[in-house]
Amino acid sequence: MSEDEADQGPRVRLEPPGDRWRALVRLSPQDNTTRATRRSLGLVTHRRVVMGGHQPGFWHAGILAKWIAVEALAGCVDGAAAWVVPDQSPGAGTAIAYPARDGDKLVRASVRLGEADVPPAAQPAAGFEAPGDAALSSVARALREAAGLMRRHGGEPTLARQLHGACVDAISDMLPRPARSAAPASPAAIFASELHETEAFKELIGAMRADPHACARLYNEAARAHAGAGVRELAIAPDGVELPLWERTGTPARPQPWRTVRSDRLPDLADERLVLRGLPMTGMLRRWCCDLFVHGTGGGGEQGYDRVTEGWFEVWLGARDLAPAAVASATLRLDFREFTGELDLPTPEQIARAQELAHRAEHDPALAGDEELGRRKRELAQEIAALPRGSERRGELFRQMQELRGSAGARSAGELARLRSRAESLAARAGDAAIAADRTWPFIFHAPDALAPLREAIDAEIARPRG
């Protein structure tokens, strides 16, 4: 990564532009289910609720941007902030990835906190010792601090709650809200595995119990209508259909994977044994629990998975009034100059361009510095293209072009060798380059003064008067 790229700071993405968000968030009409659900989750009913969410863990800066945006918008509209923690996803948050040093190479390593196939809601709190092979001193420091935060929250009943508490503390330590900020307290946490205690959950599961086949069929139709979102269709068979639910089969005391629920099993399961998967979860939250939902790039936008949710809820439940959604994300990369010294790491794009140039130069003399032969090759190619296939003249010109290519190769052998050598040299660092270009390293690996511009940019954009 070049010095300029390391110094350019965060790139923030808000869709629609942040100055339009305040107009989107309006207090939704509230029926009995909405009021009862919000109260049971500890949410206000008399003010607007701005919500975002992500799986438990130490997120990357793009997810931190969502958290900041939720806080900023709630402050601007005198609303309340909330954050859903999808703790039902298998393995979510059970590893902390970090860039490590292996001799003079960068490698990917991780600290394991739990089982990769078990939801963090069904795993106990964990701890770890900071590893000694971190590639950067900032990463080594952050891992030590993360280990301390995990110990601070070691009394939590689940790994999910422990991770979320540790992450919130890290945000508070590294990115305190300015004293002048109008933002309310940190977003209230809502854990997906505990939604079964709400009236909205009961209403949603009731609709599934009433006609599970229609639920699955309409889900699949919505998934096909928005194929770009990449949502997997539910399995439909003559003897039953898959439903977007988990069966709670493990606990922190006895961790084990949760089971997918089929329609033939549904009548035997009490509501407290059921957990919503991703799409019904966000659909429930947007229908009954918030007045604006902040997605990342995976969930929001034209190709986001929540387009499937919107289409499914409309045809299945007749719900056209889901809370509006916005998108917040950011890109912030680590500075690896401590590892590389004076040698800049190439970006993956630079490696690809060097490889392409070396390949194309073997066929285009101009790219190897021989403009004269390059011009003659282009003229021959144009003449060949204008002639009918199979003509003698076309064959003769093609032979001339092959001879020209041989002459060019001999005349430009030195330059071609240099281009190949450069491409090979850069490709040898492809692994390092990919690690350095990765935008998904945990935000705790960045210095606080690198994160501060992220909050400043988002706060300013959302508070800016609409032009």
Q: Confidence band (pLDDT; 50, 70, 90) for 357?
A: confident
Complete DSSP assignment for 94-107: -EEEEEEEETTEEE
Residue 275 Cα distances to 95, 181, 255, 284, 323, angstroms = 23, 37, 16, 12, 22
pLDDT grade for 184, boundaries at 50, 70 and 90: low
Highest mean pLDDT: which range of 28-32, 163-167, 412-416: 163-167
Contact call for residues 117 and 258 (beta carbons, < 8 A): no
Q: Is 5's pLDDT higher than 50?
A: no
Q: 190: which strand partners?
A: 84
Could you tell me the residue ranges of all domains in the chain? 1-343+439-467, 348-428
Res 3: pLDDT: 43
Task: State the number of CA atoms in the 13 A half-sphere of 3 facing the CB.
Answer: 3
How far is the first Cα of the chain from the last one, in angstroms, to the nearest whole number?
36
Q: Is it the case that residue 425 has pLDDT exceeding 70? A: no
Give yes or no for a contact between 330 and 296, defined as CB atoms under 8 angstroms apart: no
Beta-sheet pairing, 80-85 with 49-53: parallel
Residue 353: what pLDDT?
82
Q: Give the residue-averaged pLDDT of 382-403.
A: 76
Indicate whether 268 pLDDT > 90. Answer: yes
Whether the pLDDT of residue 375 is over 80: the answer is no
Please state the rounded mean pLDDT for residues 331-359.
77
Q: Band of the pLDDT at 179, cuts 50, 70, 90?
A: low
> Please, which pLDDT band fits residue 393 given cuts at 50, 70 and 90?
confident
Q: Which residue has the higher pLDDT, 102 or 8?
A: 102
Rounded to a whole number of angstroms, the CA Rg of the chain reads 28
Q: Is 145 exposed, middle or buried (0-12, 13-18, 19+ CB in 10 A)?
A: middle
Confidence of residue 6 (pLDDT cuts 50, 70, 90): very low
pLDDT at 185: 66
The identity of residue 397, as a single letter, is L
Residue among 46, 52, 41 at smallest CA distance from 78: 46
DSSP assigned state of 177: P
Choice among 52-66, 187-201, 334-348, 408-422 with the minimum mean pLDDT: 408-422
pLDDT band of residue 363 (cuts 50, 70, 90) is low
Whether the bond between 16 and the residue before it is cis, its omega within 30 degrees of 0, is yes
If you count DSSP H runs as helices and E runs as strands, how many of each does the chain have, helices first? 17, 12
Is 50 exceeded by the pLDDT of residue 337?
Answer: yes
Q: What percent of the chain has pLDDT over 70?
A: 86
Instruction: Using the predicted structure, report yes or no on whether residue 235 has a pLDDT greater than 70.
Output: yes
pLDDT-derived band of residue 267, with 50, 70 and 90 as boundaries? very high
Phi, psi of 374 (to 5 degrees): -65, -40
What is the mean pLDDT of the segment spanning 165-173?
96
pLDDT at residue number 207 = 97
- Residue 345 gets the label, from left (phi > 0), alpha (psi -120 to 50) or beta, of beta
- Residue 171: its pLDDT value, please? 96
- What pTM does this model have? 0.83
| Beta-carbon count within 10 A of 181 CB | 13
Over range 194-200, report the average pLDDT.
Answer: 96
Is there a contact between 354 and 423 (Cβ–Cβ < 8 Å)? yes
Label the pairing between strands 274-276 and 240-247: antiparallel
pLDDT of residue 66 exceeding 80, the answer is yes
